[in-house]
Amino acid sequence: MLRRLSQILLLALAVEACSKNYAGYVPDESLVFSAVASHSVKSIITTTNYPLDEPFVVEAVYYPDWQDKSSSCFMSGETVEYYFEEATWKPRREYYWPNSGSLVFYAGSPILPQMTFSTEHGVEAEWSITTDKDTQTDLCYAKVETDCSSHPAAVPVVFNHALSQICFKARTQANYSYSRTEGNLIQANVITTVLDSVKIRGVISKGHFTQEPLGWELDTFDSAEYTIFRSTEGLPLHCDRYDAPTLYPLSTLLLIPQVLYQDVILDEWHHMVIRTSITDSETKEIVSDETYTLPCFHSLHLADYCQEWLMDFKYTFRIAVGQDDTEISSAVTDWTETKELIIGDE
């Protein structure tokens, strides 16, 4: 419903001056698009191919001459959809290529009322990041400049990401279980690290995005708290048979790019389940068997491990939970884990 309403609003705002009967059109060369993503995207895009069921919005400006700074509206807030019967992306209204001059296309996705266009800034958006990670939406933008006299068969729209992808994983620092023998008594200590909750707070959650100049104007008075993981049962963190800690994925967030200051805090709660049993090695009798828990809490500054989140990058924080402390390591990749690591170790 939201998508349909936003499409109707965008069409209603279309300027009548942006008519398809533009002087100099070649009637048999209709304007169509191709759409891809620069990297895979959470939410609306699951591969590097743009999803065929997700329309996007295009604004286009016409320049009579490449060197001429004067311009006129060519396409305003036009919804572009994929037509399966024709296997192509095209606007709902038919447009034709001019004989000469150039066209500059600005594209934005997803179609939401918060996203607008202007000839000065291209894609603009008043964006707030919800604290519900399941409803977070990526914000994508693209720009294409074409020569009308030698234009491509389809306008190649390559989307980039205006947000940062923040991924969290967790592991235990070590296998803490052990056994020891005193005389004929064998003491076995089975110690399990159980993660209870992880959250980050002090994150700027609202800002204004502009495509030109590319960047964000942040609302520094609007910060939020995001739950990374929470469970009443807890998540046991185990090691493999070689005592190597297993890394467990927790959550991935789409957040506004920003500098991390000391007030961006990660809070982590866990407990250690300790079972101690003593067995008589001669009689095989269990002398005692006790289980108790040891609660633990640690608070860390994310800025100590990563100073900034940039657009179109993926930041992975690995939380290593221990008996006495919690450690964090970070890595940066080019949005996907299949891309080459830029910093750190994934």
What CATH number has the domain bearing residue 176? 2.60.40
In this prediction, residue 21 has a pLDDT band, given cuts at 50, 70 and 90, of: very low
Do 149 and 206 fall within a single domain?
no
Token duo for residue 316: 């992975």
3-class SS of residue 303? helix
Do 180 and 120 fall within a single domain?
no
- Given 145, 162, 179, the domain boundary residue is 162
Better-predicted residue by pLDDT, 30 or 319: 319
- List, for residues 298-314, the tens digit of each pLDDT value: 999 999 999 999 998 99
Predicted pLDDT of residue 37: 66
Instruction: Determine which of 7-11, 79-83, 194-198, 282-286 has the lowest per-residue pLDDT on average.
Output: 7-11
- List, for residues 100-153, the tens digit of each pLDDT value: 999 999 999 999 999 999 878 999 999 999 999 888 888 999 999 999 999 999
Q: Mean pLDDT across the stretch 171-195?
A: 94
Nearest to 143 by CA among 199, 113, 104, 180: 104
Torsion of CA 201, 247, 269, 133, to 10 degrees: 40
Do 151 and 196 fall within a single domain?
no
CA distance 252 to 47: 16
Do 60 and 185 fall within a single domain?
no
Do 157 and 196 fall within a single domain?
no
Q: Which long-range contacts (CB under 8 A, 24 or more apart) does 16-21 make?
A: 17/72, 17/73, 18/73, 18/74, 18/75, 18/76, 18/78, 20/93, 20/94, 20/95, 20/96
Better-predicted residue by pLDDT, 145 or 37: 145
- pTM, two decimals, is 0.82
Do 281 and 181 form a contact (C-beta atoms < 8 A)? Answer: yes
Nearest to 160 by CA among 213, 206, 107: 107
What angle (nearest 5°) sits at the alpha carbon of residue 126, between those of residues 124 and 131? 135
Do 47 and 67 fall within a single domain?
yes
Do 115 and 171 fall within a single domain?
no
Do 169 and 157 fall within a single domain?
no
Judge whether residue 3 has pLDDT over 90.
no
- Backbone torsions φ then ψ of 135, nearest 5 degrees: -110, 5
Do 111 and 79 form a contact (C-beta atoms < 8 A)? Answer: yes
Instruction: Determine which of 222-236, 273-287, 322-336 has the lowest per-residue pLDDT on average.
Output: 322-336
Do 130 and 163 form a contact (C-beta atoms < 8 A)? Answer: no
Do 194 and 338 fall within a single domain?
yes
CA distance 236 to 187: 23
Nearest to 40 by CA among 272, 333, 344: 333
- Given 162, 188, 206, the domain boundary residue is 162
Token duo for residue 52: 């065929």
Predicted pLDDT of residue 337: 56
Instruction: Determine which of 60-64, 68-72, 105-109, 120-124 has the lowest per-residue pLDDT on average.
Output: 68-72
Judge whether residue 177 has pLDDT over 60.
yes
Q: In Å, how far from its chain's centre is CA 212?
A: 21
Token duo for residue 130: 């919800």
- Who's near 61: CB < 8 A, 6+ residues apart? 71, 72, 73, 74, 103, 104, 106, 119
Q: Is 220 exposed, middle or buried (0-12, 13-18, 19+ CB in 10 A)?
A: exposed
Rounded to the nearest integer, the mean pLDDT of the chain is 85
Do 90 and 211 fall within a single domain?
no
Structural domain of 12: 2-162
Do 148 and 9 fall within a single domain?
yes
Backbone region of residue 69 per phi and psi (left: phi > 0; alpha: psi in -120 to 50; beta: other values) = alpha
Q: Are strands 215-218 and 286-301 parallel, antiparallel or unpaired?
A: unpaired
Predicted pLDDT of residue 49: 62
Predicted pLDDT of residue 10: 36
- List, for residues 205-234, the tens digit of each pLDDT value: 999 999 999 999 999 888 999 999 999 999
- Backbone torsions φ then ψ of 140, nearest 5 degrees: -115, 150
Total structural domains in the chain? 2
Percent share of the chain, pLDDT over 90: 68
- Backbone torsions φ then ψ of 11, nearest 5 degrees: -70, -40
Q: Mean pLDDT across the stretch 178-205?
A: 95
Do 21 and 86 fall within a single domain?
yes
- Backbone torsions φ then ψ of 206, nearest 5 degrees: -145, 140
- Given 162, 196, 218, the domain boundary residue is 162
CA distance 198 to 236: 14
Q: Which helix (H) or strand (E) holds 199?
A: strand 185-204
Q: Mean pLDDT across the stretch 57-68?
A: 87
